[in-house]
Chains A and B, each alone.
Chain A
Amino acid sequence: MVEHLVDVAVIGGGPAGLAAAVSAGEHGAEQVVVIERNSWLGGILPQCIHDGFGVEETGKSLTGPEYAEQYINMALQKNIQIMLETMVIELRENREIVAVNSNGLHNIKAKSVVLAMGCRERTRWGAMIPGTRPSGIYTAGVAQTFINLQNIMVGRKVVIVGSGDVGLIMARRLKLEGAEVVAVVEILPYPSGLLRNVVQCLEDYDIPLLLNHTVTNIEGKERVEEVTISQVDGNMKPILGTEKQIKCDTLLLSLGLIPENELSRMAMVEIDDRTGGPSVNQELETSVPGIFACGNCLHVHDTVDMLSVEAKKAGKSAVECITNTGRKQYETVIHVVPGEGVRYVVPQRINRPGKVELMLRAKKPMEPVVLQVTAGKRIILTKKLRCATPSSMIKIGIVIPPRVFASRAALEVRLIG
């Protein structure tokens, strides 16, 4: 067992992990280590060869690899230690990490830990799609890995189920590589991905988007031969008699992303069922002192730009936790809960009065809409928004007056249509 003593250990070398590590370095941490299970840094960015990254953050539109390169270079300049092809197999509450790579086992004792494990794709079984079990069924991200990183074509005639962003991007990518993309099928009455992706990836390429539809059967003994799509009712149940068969050799799944928190659970970090990620305070500290969370393992983000901003905050907090600068211990904690129209809010806890930033997601599309934050009967904030959709995260700053904070009333965030 190789022993390591570090200030900040970041689990995951994707965009969140890199931004957190760079920020930790900038805020004075001397020894920062990033532990990455793959042989490259940047997570899924290297396979996202389309552009549109960094627009909100820097005003420039970059490709995934270009965006990743910026942070990789910053990390190298900051002398951040990188462990590649290294899998964390254990995380303990006392911030000890056990990791393994080809040099052996490593015991990493960290003063603070940043969780940045990212997310995984929901599988066919998560959506319980029945039928045969042939080859030719890929999650969109895996198909993207094969096409863009391994130069391997996954199919010729494709149906995509789910209109998440990765699915939309892959619809265009497959079309550009000569595959026929028969349709994108979405169970909801609105697309799950960003509007710009619906326009740029489907409409511009004449790929039909079938809303209120889902795949209800898969046929093919060996390779996919056909899928059945059905219209669904208001409760998302397939309507009998609306079945249509589509011949295809490939089914791509873009059914949503699940934050990866097996390690968090191992360390007894409390998980919020709504986000699937750790429950954190305004400094992104989890329920376990000294363990912070950011990126898609905290909650699934729309864009890398917003994710990087959040991750930098986690990196900064991880350093402040060690140096204790700007970190006052408050005994009171107030909870932040999603109310009407809101699927989730991050952070879930606040332990000081003053300015706090909330990130939230709407349950369904609404326009126009009023965002309201209340503490008991007191209204803290009322703001009119042009629209709210589940695919676009809403970020809002609030100021909690000391008296409100002292009352310990939970903050409720609502979207009123």
Chain B
Amino acid sequence: MKKFQVAIIGGGVIGSSIARELSRYDVSVVVFESGSDVASQASKANSGVIHSGINSPPYSLKARLCVEGNRMFQSLAGELGVPVKWVGKFVVAGNEDEIAELEHLKRVGESNGVPGLEILDEAGVKKKEKNISCRGALWVPTAGITSPYQLTIALAENAAENNVKFLLETKVIGLKKQAQKFFVNTTKGGFLADVVVNAAGVFCRDIVAMLEEPDFNVYPCRGEYLVLDKSYSWLVRSMVYPVPPKHTGVLGIHITPTIEGNILLGPSAEFINEDEDTRTTREAMISLLKHAKEMVPVVPDNAVINAYSGIRSKLASAENGGWADFRIEESRNTPGLINILGIESPGLTAAPAIAKEAIGIIAGLIVLKEKGSFKSNRARVNRFSGLLETERAKMIEKDSKWGRVVCRCEQVTEREVTDALSNPLGARTLSSVKYRCRAGMGRCQGGFCTPHIVRIMKDNFGMDVIDIKLKSPNSTLFTGRVREVREHG
């Protein structure tokens, strides 16, 4: 049976951050991910916002780790080659009552140590962002945006390059502790570990329940989004948030420019019964457009190119106000089990700080000795669309695949698709290509590139067509050949 010192359950942004932090040390680490790639749940389906810390009550873990994470973000993103933009955000007030709320938010933010907060009147807002309609707004300069899936992928790939073992399509189905060792049973066999990190997100209770009676419940809360065509990137440059609705523990439907130039509308907030129900609904689509237009009236109805949803892993029910703090702790009943619970917004921002927090706990359990071979920098991932003309010419000279554009909307080349398919995690679905190089993320939603990617998977990676999947172990794209052929004699 394979032995690892640390087993991390979940390859989301939290599991991948912890894995990457641990890869600095001389310790053997495995990550079990039930999906076909990392970032296959909430880590890929959120707003991609680096929060400032104005929204969490002072002295909460959420406030502290959000502000800490925010400060760590720039250098982490730099090391990993992940894009970050400090676009700032407006919290807009539509009436006098809401202006009073802005004052409250400002006080909370200041006591959490958030710098630069400023309340602007209508004219002040218009000067910075002419399409916003409001009575006034709180300007939050330290809020930023990143690509949540690119960050998670970069963390995981960098961890893998530093010898963390990632096992995809590997679901943990049993967990026992005997004689100071954890026995982890998975769909890919059994493993032994000294320490188990439960970073299973919305499934975190299921993991705890394998070992002990959980002292908490998870209340899944779905958030739906709409993605607008890049030709509307002029709508807003900064994020536009409403004053947070009371008693739901969410921030409200906001308008977010993405790092790639699209505009996101969302998320809705709907408590649901099933923790994997990532559907989109007509009701939410209508409501998202309506709410967005209240803040930015020129938001168009007919520019949606995609819709998706993510599930918040909440520890408080709707009846109890929907707000609960993060929990990052070693189980009292099962020493060696480190639970990371209730990670929802601002979880992405806090991820680097949560990882440090977790490492602190792990360091009390096993010896963490820094290894000399740790490589903190990840090779820069080149994008054809982001290169200058002269650079493009040079790249094509080196490898002609840089000259073959296979995704027309996002201008992605065959070389980038090939690089994406050669990732160190071994993720090879259509989505894993999409999230690495953006092929399929544009306005035609894969109409042009899908046949090209399938061709590359078949011809250059030797994949059988019936093994080609969209995003998860059973999401097969094809049912077989139209005609059986004997290829190559």
- A and B: partners? yes
Binds A, one of B145-153, B212-220, B469-477: B469-477
**Does A123 sit within 8 A of B, measured CB to CB?**
yes
> With A100-B403, A134-B475, A222-B473 as given contacts, are A123 and B305 in contact (CB-CB < 8 Å)?
yes
CA separation between A220 and B304, bound complex, in Å? 22
B393–A120 CB distance below 8 A: no
Whether B481 contacts A152 by the Cβ 8 Å rule is yes
Q: Is the CB of A130 within 8 A of B389?
A: no
A153 x B397 contact (CB < 8 A): no
Contact with B along A134-146 (1 / 0, CB 8 A): 1110010110011
Contact present for A103 and B400 (CB under 8 Å): yes
Q: Does B184 contact A (CB under 8 A)?
A: no
Q: By the criterion CB–CB under 8 Å, are A87 and B308 in contact?
A: no
Residue A101 CB within 8 A of the other chain: yes
Determine whether A252 belongs to the interface, using a CB cutoff of 8 Å to chain B. no
Within 8 A of B (CB), among A136-162: 136, 139, 141-142, 145-147, 149-156
Contact B447 A141 (CB under 8 A): yes
Task: Tell me the complex Cα distance, A125–B389, Å.
Answer: 34
B: number of interface residues (CB 8 Å): 52
Q: How far is the CA of A139 from the CA of B445 in the complex (A)?
A: 10
B276 within 8 A of A: yes
Known: A153-B479, A156-B479. A104 touches B396 (CB 8 A): yes
Which A residues are CB-close (under 8 A) to B393? Answer: 1, 104-105
CB A131 to nearest CB in B, in angstroms, measures 6
A152 near B396 (CB under 8 angstroms)?
no
In the bound complex, how far is the Cα of B481 from the Cα of A153, in angstroms? 5
Decide if B483 is an interface residue (CB 8 Å cutoff): yes
Q: Given contacts A123-B305, A135-B469, is CB(A102)–CB(B389) below 8 Å?
A: no
Confirm or deny: B482 has a beta carbon within 8 angstroms of a beta carbon on chain A.
yes
User: Is B282 among interface residues, defined by CB-CB distance under 8 A?
Assistant: yes
Q: How many positions in chain A have a CB within 8 Å of any CB in the partner chain?
A: 47
Q: Does A89 make an interface contact (CB < 8 A)?
A: yes
The stretch of B15-23, B292-300, B448-456 in contact with A is B448-456
Contact count A vs B, C-beta below 8 Å: 130
**In the complex, what residues of B have CB within 8 A of residue A331's CB?**
none
If A150-B454, A150-B455, A152-B454 touch, whether A105 touches B408 (CB-CB below 8 Å) is: no
A363 at the interface (CB under 8 A from B): no
Q: Which of B276, B393, B472, B479 has the most chain A CB within a 10 Å cutoff? A: B479
Most buried by A among B281, B408, B482: B482
A392 at the interface (CB under 8 A from B): no
Chain B contacts with A in 229-287, Cβ cutoff 8 A: 231, 276, 278-282, 285
Partner among B276, B454, B472 whose Cβ is within 8 Å of the Cβ of A146 = B454
Q: A133 CA to B434 CA in the complex, in Å?
A: 15
What is the chain B residue whose CB lies nearest that of A133?
B308
The yes or no answer to A221 lying at the interface (CB within 8 A) is: yes
Is A204 at the interface (CB under 8 A from chain B)? no
Q: Are A125 and B305 in contact (CB under 8 A)?
A: yes
* Bound CA span A150–B481, Å: 9
Cα–Cα distance between A147 and B479 once the two chains are bound (Å): 11
From B403, B408, B469, B471, A101 is in contact (CB under 8 Å) with: B403
Are the C-beta atoms of A105 and B389 separated by less than 8 Å?
yes
> Once the chains bind, are A142 and B278 in contact (CB under 8 Å)?
no
Question: Contact flags (1/0) for B300-313 with A, using CB distance below 8 Å?
Answer: 00001111100000
Known: A123-B445, A145-B451, A153-B482. A223 touches B475 (CB 8 A): yes
Bound CA–CA A145/B483 (angstroms): 15
- Given contacts A105-B392, A146-B454, A150-B454, are A222 and B472 in contact (CB under 8 A)? yes
Query: Cβ of A132 < 8 Å from any Cβ of B?
Result: yes
CB contact between A216 and one of B282, B401, B482 (< 8 Å): that residue: B282
Nearest chain-A residue to B471 (Cβ)? A135
B472 — which chain A residues lie within 8 A by C-beta?
Answer: 221-222
Does chain A have a CB within 8 A of B411? yes
**Bound Cα distance from A181 to B401, whole angstroms:** 39
- Residues on B with C-beta less than 8 A from A153 are 478-482
- With A1-B389, A125-B307, A135-B471 already in contact, the answer to whether A102 and B482 are too (CB < 8 A) is no
Judged by a CB distance under 8 angstroms, whether B485 is at the interface is: yes
B156 at the interface (CB under 8 A from A): no
Which residues of chain B are near A249, meaning CB under 8 Å? 479
When the two chains form their complex, are residues A135 and B455 in contact, meaning their CB atoms are under 8 A apart? Answer: no
Given A89-B405, A123-B444, A135-B470, 16 further pairs, Cβ under 8 A: A37-B408, A85-B404, A102-B400, A103-B396, A104-B393, A120-B448, A124-B445, A126-B305, A128-B282, A130-B279, A135-B477, A139-B447, A142-B446, A142-B447, A151-B481, A249-B479
Residues of A with Cβ closer than 8 Å to B? 1, 37, 85, 87, 89, 98, 100-105, 120-121, 123-126, 128, 130-136, 139, 141-142, 145-147, 149-156, 177, 216, 221-223, 249, 265
Can you list 8 A-B pairs, Cβ within 8 angstroms, ordered by A?
A: A100-B405, A103-B396, A104-B396, A135-B476, A146-B451, A146-B478, A149-B451, A153-B479
